[in-house]
Structure 1
């Protein structure tokens, strides 16, 4: 009996030690956040082990969460939900049932997941799209683009651009009773990256006559040049998106070659030939003083030139929208940006806000000091957080008032 008690206490202590992680004082519902982080870490450890043993690719294991949260396209009394395709790219459509004499608004949504994970059918995304359709009486087009490591850039971008361009045709808008002057594109994380890139491309595409009214970028990832900004340094071990995982996402977007991951992880994947581009991501000039704190900006450390030569997409503005020249930012639609304090991508969002404002683009920036990356996904049990519902409500309110 005594030995069983000792074993129980030992297991309990070890479990508590594994689950516990120090969190900033202002993070709410800490125990839920710790459980969430432990779940993600466990999945990551399983992925690493499976890859080492040659059983599965790391991202195949991480995809288990996407599969567990899969939902069927079930309609309800408020919204008709269907899975279909636009120009051979799968999408999930949410059509509100509320009758209206006026043409509807529309939101094109692009899910996150580091270009490797996620789905429009995941429960959190499904709920967000339903809420958007119902509260805004808007048609929602949620895109299921191809994923790495099976497909690398530009497959993800091409799928999204194909859907958006197809949807913006007058004949398609008429079919779904959508007002061509009230269309938004929105996305979170890697989806925010794709939304940003697509919006920039549409601005200069002479074939597209219908223009987006607004873009909403939720903690977007926007540059691959400097993976050692203050937010990468400070938040490398914060919940959901660690620095290691973000670098892994970046490298998998281009290739399964682990050498690129190693170079990016040490922030030595650029050469002196790219020195002129660092002005676009120079956080010492683009971040507010409150975020620079004790950080000192150093000139980039350059590495092997073979990576940029082998994977030129690293410098493509469709991959790193922050590398876009100032004159090509002018004319972008009203932009809404969400950033979170404890997020490795925080500084990407802040830098883009600064660049857009310098270019004369109207930007609304909502920054949340007490939370972390991926917060909008924490809207369902067992990890639903109050702040997730608060941020979602503010996001939908802004869309409702500006679309």
Structure 2
């Protein structure tokens, strides 16, 4: 019931955002971000934080107040929100708790968002901020052998992308591990078991998913049905990636009530507009084996009641098949966005603490 009420409040804010968008006052996502950012930041006596800018990129740096004689782990965190909502303020409690409970230095990247900035800007901001941090580890008291990239939802997409982009960059410390929390890892198939089972789950319905997809790809919402039916890609593309996207790679216990859907014939117009989804920026799950096999150790958190649940399961299998160490946590009562309820008072959900505990335990073992 609490989740339904929270969902209704989000829909109310979203509806007002659409009204302001129609009136050309601001975009829907700008209004939602404005309302979310009204929440005051709570301070923790054991954690210090400050606002910085790496060039034009806003970041927040968190570090434990207690002194230490040894360098701490470093965490680069990319917040979620589909590129349209979410901010450094909405995730402040997560950064604070993660810093305190893992005794780590946390850099939160405030990448610029849609619709004012495109996907290329989001990608560039994440890469530039990460490189800047990696070059300044001594300044922040971070151990160069224990740097972790981390993200929830679209932030998980960014973390996986960073692993690929900075894999063999000279003169930079190697990323030690990556943590993905209900990450979005492919944009091809929207008929996976979790997509069918969770299309109307609160906070992340299929309608909002496609709003984010349309914003990210800069395409018309009218293509939704064609994309849902698989008409946006030719048969040879589906055949090429079947080995990685096949629901057969998902354990049977996650396929209750699942009904396979045959792909509709190709719609050339949709394909011309959406073929960029084959790029690793949108679909890190499609990275070739010879590259993904070099990825650092991973911690993957999936949630049962999540439209994107199966992305984590498919990514986990790929890494394990390639010999990359994986720590997996599945939250049976979890849902997309659960982690952000850590400091929501009456809208707090215990699963958020279990997700945070899984992350901190993993970091402490590195």
TM-score by length of 2: 0.92
The one-character-per-residue Cα deviations of 1:72-103 (angstroms, maximum 9, x if unpaired) are xx865322211102243110001222111111
Q: Report the alpha carbon displacement of residue 315 of structure 1 after superposing the two structures with TM.
A: 1.2
CA contact (8 A) 1:187 1:194 kept: yes
CA contact (8 A) 1:115 1:148 kept: yes
Q: Report the alpha carbon displacement of residue 284 of structure 1 after superposing the two structures with TM.
A: 2.3
* 2:68 aligns with one of 100, 108, 113: 100
Greater Cα offset, 347-356 or 37-46? 37-46
| Distance in 2 (alpha carbons) for counterparts of 1:104 and 1:223 | 33
Q: Secondary structure at the match of 1:149?
A: coil
CA contact (8 A) 1:202 1:208 kept: no
CA contact (8 A) 2:231 2:270 kept: no
Aligned partner of 1:338 in structure 2 is 301
**Residue 358 and residue 257 in structure 1: after superposition, are their counterparts in 2 closer, same or farther (change >3 A)?**
same
TM-score by length of 1: 0.84
* 2:49 aligns with one of 55, 62, 81: 81
| Distance in 2 (alpha carbons) for counterparts of 1:214 and 1:87 | 26
CA contact (8 A) 2:304 2:335 kept: yes
CA contact (8 A) 1:168 1:208 kept: no
| Distance in 1 (alpha carbons) for counterparts of 2:267 and 2:216 | 19
CA contact (8 A) 1:183 1:213 kept: yes
Larger Rg: 1
- Are residues 1:191 and 2:159 paired? no
| Distance in 2 (alpha carbons) for counterparts of 1:305 and 1:280 | 24
- Are residues 1:240 and 2:206 paired? no
Aligned partner of 1:325 in structure 2 is 288
Greater Cα offset, 95-104 or 234-243? 95-104
Q: Report the alpha carbon displacement of residue 309 of structure 1 after superposing the two structures with TM.
A: 3.1
Q: Report the alpha carbon displacement of residue 47 of structure 1 after superposing the two structures with TM.
A: 3.3
CA contact (8 A) 1:277 1:323 kept: no
**Residue 285 and residue 384 in structure 1: after superposition, are their counterparts in 2 closer, same or farther (change >3 A)?**
same
CA contact (8 A) 1:283 1:347 kept: no
* 1:158 aligns with one of 124, 131, 148: 124
**Residue 99 and residue 329 in structure 1: after superposition, are their counterparts in 2 closer, same or farther (change >3 A)?**
same
Aligned partner of 2:105 in structure 1 is 139
| Distance in 2 (alpha carbons) for counterparts of 1:50 and 1:264 | 28
Aligned partner of 2:14 in structure 1 is 44
- Are residues 1:389 and 2:357 paired? no
**Residue 53 and residue 267 in structure 1: after superposition, are their counterparts in 2 closer, same or farther (change >3 A)?**
farther
CA contact (8 A) 1:110 1:143 kept: yes
Q: Secondary structure at the match of 2:346?
A: coil
CA contact (8 A) 2:233 2:275 kept: no
| Distance in 2 (alpha carbons) for counterparts of 1:366 and 1:168 | 28
Q: Secondary structure at the match of 1:301?
A: coil
Q: Report the alpha carbon displacement of residue 39 of structure 1 after superposing the two structures with TM.
A: 0.9
Q: Secondary structure at the match of 2:330?
A: strand
The one-character-per-residue Cα deviations of 1:92-135 (angstroms, maximum 9, x if unpaired) are 0012221111112111111000011111122xx21121122222
Aligned partner of 1:207 in structure 2 is 170
Aligned partner of 1:15 in structure 2 is none
**Residue 226 and residue 241 in structure 1: after superposition, are their counterparts in 2 closer, same or farther (change >3 A)?**
same
CA contact (8 A) 1:251 1:264 kept: no
Q: Secondary structure at the match of 1:371?
A: strand
* 1:377 aligns with one of 332, 337, 340: 340
- Are residues 1:63 and 2:43 paired? no
CA contact (8 A) 1:198 1:318 kept: no
CA contact (8 A) 1:33 1:239 kept: yes
CA contact (8 A) 1:376 1:392 kept: yes
- Are residues 1:111 and 2:79 paired? yes
Q: Report the alpha carbon displacement of residue 148 of structure 1 after superposing the two structures with TM.
A: 0.9
CA contact (8 A) 1:165 1:208 kept: no
Greater Cα offset, 261-270 or 239-248? 261-270
The one-character-per-residue Cα deviations of 1:144-175 (angstroms, maximum 9, x if unpaired) are 00111121211111110111122112xx1111
Q: Report the alpha carbon displacement of residue 243 of structure 1 after superposing the two structures with TM.
A: 1.0
Extract unaligned runs of 5+ from structure 2: none
Superposition CA RMSD, Å: 2.1
Q: Secondary structure at the match of 1:154?
A: helix
